[in-house]
Amino acid sequence: MNVLVIGACNVNDSIYSLARDESIQPPIVAGAGKMSSGHTPYVHSVQEAIQLVRYVREAIDIPKNVRRYVFTDQDFFPRGLGSAFDEADIVLFEFSTPLEIEFGAYRLNRNELQRRLIIPLSKAVPSLARPLGEWFHDGILKGNPERTAAAARELAGLQHDLVDAPEWRELFCRVRGRLLNKAEIVDFLHQLRTMFDARFAVVKPSLRYTPDGRGWGWPLAFMDQLEDACSELGLPLLDFDGVVRRYGPEAALMPDLYHHKPGFTGFLDEILRFTREVALK
């Protein structure tokens, strides 16, 4: 059973743990094993996923100066890797967020934007930490164009060699965060699903938990919108939070109370049950 994961670390890690378990019959094959990283490049949003599939199949190009904000490996080039996506029996899409980080025609990865722009600039020039935080955390990540534009104007007005670098100035001026509405979630999920002949299923993102065990997600409406979208499209949906509620956040999750503990059997058993169920549909 060849399972291709498109998403972030939680589901990828579970599938690759199962693929290493020789006792599982029929065996799980990790669909992106041909890639040098051993997994698909991480994505969080549905348009990031569509962009990734098109890029791996060499239907689009992503310039290197943009790739560094899209992939952890900025030299990632998919020559000959399209078959890894075409040979899957099951595609699992981990839909983490309705937030799209738009840079013209491209969709950026929030972690790479933070790692390659926000953190180094804030460390190099501490006085930039506040406007950068307002631009990224209060503007882009909250899908607030007014806050993004106001912070971008402040950053554009600062006189510093780093801020004046053409590439970074263009990012400040053009990058925007946008929250998809319910109709767009349905439309883009349908587009992604039709890119594969394989069985296709969606993984609902895990909630974040507080130390006293309360779970919360953001934006609040997204979880219900995703359930409704999958119901409308007839897509199987896996919700890992039942596992967290069953075993408790401290047992199932890392200290950040969001990421799954590597190799935790509750998650592995659930995703194995789910993939077998999807395979029979």
- Tell me, what's the pLDDT at 247? 93
**In the sheet that 90-94 helps form, which strands lie side by side, from edge to edge?**
29-30, 2-6, 90-94, 199-204, 237-239
Cα 25 to the center of its chain, rounded Å: 29
pTM higher than 0.85: yes
How far CA 250 is from CA of 243, 247, 267, in Å, comes to 12, 8, 14
* pLDDT for position 163: 52
Would you say residue 55 has pLDDT above 60?
yes
Show the tokens assigned to 50: 């569509």
Helix axes 166-174, 145-157, angle to 10 degrees: 150
Reported as type and span, the H/E element at residue 186 is helix 182-193
Any bridge partners for residue 92, and if so which?
A: 5, 201
List, for residues 107-128, the tens digit of each pLDDT value: 999 999 999 999 988 888 888 8
At 130-139, the pLDDT tens digits run 999 999 999 9
| Distance from C-alpha of 277 to C-alpha of 281, rounded to nearest angstrom | 7
- The pLDDT-based confidence of 37 (bands split at 50, 70, 90) is low
* CA–CA–CA angle 193, 198, 199 (5° rounding): 75
For the chain, what is the mean pLDDT? 89
Q: Which residues pair with 233 in a beta bridge?
A: none
The model's pLDDT over 69-103, given as tens digits with 9 standing for 90+, comes to 999 888 888 777 788 788 889 999 999 999 999 99
Cβ distance 199 to 90 under 8 Å? yes
Residue-wise pLDDT tens digits, 150-188: 999 888 777 666 555 677 788 988 999 999 999 999 999
Burial-class residue 208 by CB neighbours within 10 Å (0-12, 13-18, 19+).
middle
